[in-house]
Amino acid sequence: MLEVIIVGGGASGLLCGIESVKRGKQCLIIEQKEKVGKKLYATGNGKCNFANRVVEKSCYHTVSSEDANRIGSFVNDQLCKEIEQYFLELGIPVYERQGYLYPRSEQAAIVVRALEDAFTAKGGKIHCDESVQYVKANSDGTFCVGTDKSIYETKQVVLATGGAASPKLGSDGRGYSFAKSLGHTVTPCVPSLCGVKCKAAGWNRLQGVRAKGRVEAWIGNKKLAEDVGEIQFTQYGISGIVVFNLSRYAALGLLENKKVVFRLDLLPDYSENELVSLLQNMQKTCGYQSICHVLSGFLPDKLAVYLLKDSRIVNDINDSLSIKALSISQLQQIASACKGLSLKITETNSFEQAQVTAGGVPLKEINPDTMESKKVPGCYLVGELLDVDGICGGYNLMWAWETGRRAGQNL
Ligand SMILES: Cc1cc2nc3c(=O)[nH]c(=O)nc-3n(C[C@H](O)[C@H](O)[C@H](O)COP(=O)(O)OP(=O)(O)OC[C@H]3O[C@@H](n4cnc5c(N)ncnc54)[C@H](O)[C@@H]3O)c2cc1C
């Protein structure tokens, strides 16, 4: 009989393993991919943005509204400092850029190696290329873990399987069925931190354009969230960190068959009135310029052309008309096109392209101090498998580290 089996050698499983072997536990990590931490290698574009110095409750979301205020028991001012110190003690000096933390060498591989070494140095065992098929609770409080290679008996089990995002990196959503088979519930799960799709005439012209702006997510008739940053225009729709951060709302709205609209303010630094008077002034100072050329002074060329030609917000304006030929109401139309481009979102990208899963096992079903299941004593749930998703910036890994640490210290 083993003491601890951790199902999944990702961020949360490795940290949980390190903490448990430090306490002298005999611990086995079972990982279905050929190596542990496969997703970690891909994080932060291979640089691993493992934490963030600015941590607030608003950086995290839950699908279950009941769980929203449970986030508070995980998030505090010390969290980032503790993780930074922990990484330093593992031999990973840190580099900070605008609050985002990376390993000094900017190599995610260093993080995986350091975690793996810390675990195995204290006697932790890892079985790679072995896939867990089921986890059963025995009547005596122990567990039976069946894999494609063997059957194990263990006193305690940790579900660290991740969610359903990026299945090619290992987390294929099977963790939810293990949790369910043990008596847990699972909220609806949708892709998050991904691009969103829209269908609009002339859109393909915008592929590759990047513009700074504000994006609002309107679900039904309610604005649920907004974010400011760089919007990337793609062949299928829009992407970029600001869109990633709002994608969960789109995915959840679409799941409920609600109308989902992303409203883009492409010139958030001007009010509509300011913009109109600026354009009016330009009619006087450079009235000989075409409206398209003037607008390209504010926005990337292709976006200016799109707004004038295809957006259908601006009617009857020939983009080669000189600015001085435009009436005040036409200038107003142009200003409102720049400040309120509404895109009907038809789909989000799938789990294949998403960085995280929104939804999972509700926090109310675990003890937040220890991560132990309230339904099955001896079973612990950590990381993305739980109903918590963070915004971009290192928050999802912070969640994985912190929940892994709590479980590992309480096994
Ligand atoms: C491309 C990409 C970039 C990202 N960048 C960042 C970033 O820069 N910063 C950030 O904070 N977050 C980032 N994330 C999110 C972050 O990586 C995850 O939230 C985090 O890794 C979740 O940790 P976890 O331990 O819960 O799950 P995972 O890291 O997904 O680990 C779960 C492990 O369990 C294994 N497993 C699953 N089922 C089984 C089974 N049945 N048997 C055996 N093993 C199993 C999987 O193979 C996997 O190795 C990124 C995600 C992606 C996809």
Are 129 and 150 in contact, with CB atoms under 8 Å apart?
no
CA of 105 to the centre of ligand 1 (A): 21
CA of 3 to the centre of ligand 1 (A): 24
Phi-psi region of 134 (alpha: psi -120 to 50; beta: other; left: phi over 0): beta
Looking at residue 319, its pLDDT comes to 64
Strand partners, 100: 52, 97
CA of 343 to the centre of ligand 1 (A): 31
Q: Which residue has the higher pLDDT, 315 or 341?
A: 341
Cα 377 to Cα 23, 149, 182, 235, 362, distances in angstroms: 20, 26, 11, 49, 16
Kindly report the protein residue whose alpha carbon is nearest to atom 4 of ligand 1.
Answer: 43
| CA dist., res. 206 & res. 378, Å (int) | 53
Phi-psi region of 202 (alpha: psi -120 to 50; beta: other; left: phi over 0): left
CA-based R_g, the chain, Å? 25
Q: List, for residues 159-179, the tens digit of each pLDDT value.
A: 999 999 999 999 999 999 999
| CA dist., res. 92 & res. 84, Å (int) | 9
Ligand 1 closest atom vs CA 382: 26
Residue keyed to tokens 């979301």: 61
Report the mean per-residue pLDDT for the chain: 95
| CA dist., res. 271 & res. 187, Å (int) | 41
| Mean pLDDT of the region 298-325 | 80
CA of 34 to the centre of ligand 1 (A): 14
Residue keyed to tokens 């789990």: 351
CA of 208 to the centre of ligand 1 (A): 28
Counting beta carbons within 10 angstroms of the beta carbon of residue 127, is it exposed (0 to 12), middle (13 to 18) or buried (19 or more)? middle
Give the global pTM: 0.96
- Categorize the per-residue pLDDT at 102 as very low, low, confident or very high, splitting at 50, 70 and 90: very high
**Number of Cβ within a 10 Å radius of residue 88:** 12
Q: Ligand 1 pocket: which residues have CB below 6 Å?
A: 7-13, 30-33, 38-39, 42-44, 49, 131-132, 160-162, 165-166, 169-171, 174-175, 355-356, 383-385, 394-397, 400
Are 126 and 36 in contact, with CB atoms under 8 Å apart?
yes
**H or E stretch covering 202:** none
Amino acid at 231: I
Number of residues written out for the chain: 411
For ligand 1, mutation pick of 397, 401, 402, 406 (most atoms within 8 Å of CB): 397
**Number of Cβ within a 10 Å radius of residue 347:** 17
Strand partners, 147: 132
The candidate with the shortest Cα–Cα distance to 271, out of 210, 332, 195, 220, is: 332
First CA to last CA distance, the chain: 15
Structure tokens at 21: 């072997």
Ligand 1 closest atom vs CA 394: 11
Cα 371 to Cα 157, 191, 410, distances in angstroms: 11, 24, 8
| CA dist., res. 274 & res. 266, Å (int) | 14
Looking at residue 310, its pLDDT comes to 74
Cα 202 to Cα 263, 298, 307, 345, distances in angstroms: 18, 20, 10, 16
Kindly report the protein residue whose alpha carbon is nearest to atom 21 of ligand 1.
Answer: 11
For ligand 1, mutation pick of 28, 30, 36, 39 (most atoms within 8 Å of CB): 39
For residue 254, is pLDDT > 70?
Answer: yes
Residue-range domain boundaries for the chain: 2-190+358-408, 195-349
Looking at residue 217, its pLDDT comes to 98
| CA dist., res. 396 & res. 398, Å (int) | 5
Just give the CATH number of 2-190+358-408: 3.50.50.60
Structure tokens at 332: 């107003």
Looking at residue 132, its pLDDT comes to 98
Cα 64 to Cα 291, 372, 380, distances in angstroms: 49, 19, 20
Kindly report the protein residue whose alpha carbon is nearest to atom 47 of ligand 1.
Answer: 170
Percent of the chain with pLDDT over 90: 91
Q: List, for residues 386-408, the tens digit of each pLDDT value.
A: 999 999 999 999 999 999 999 99
CA of 10 to the centre of ligand 1 (A): 5
Phi-psi region of 193 (alpha: psi -120 to 50; beta: other; left: phi over 0): left
Q: List, for residues 35-79, the tens digit of each pLDDT value.
A: 999 999 999 999 999 999 999 999 999 999 999 999 999 998 899
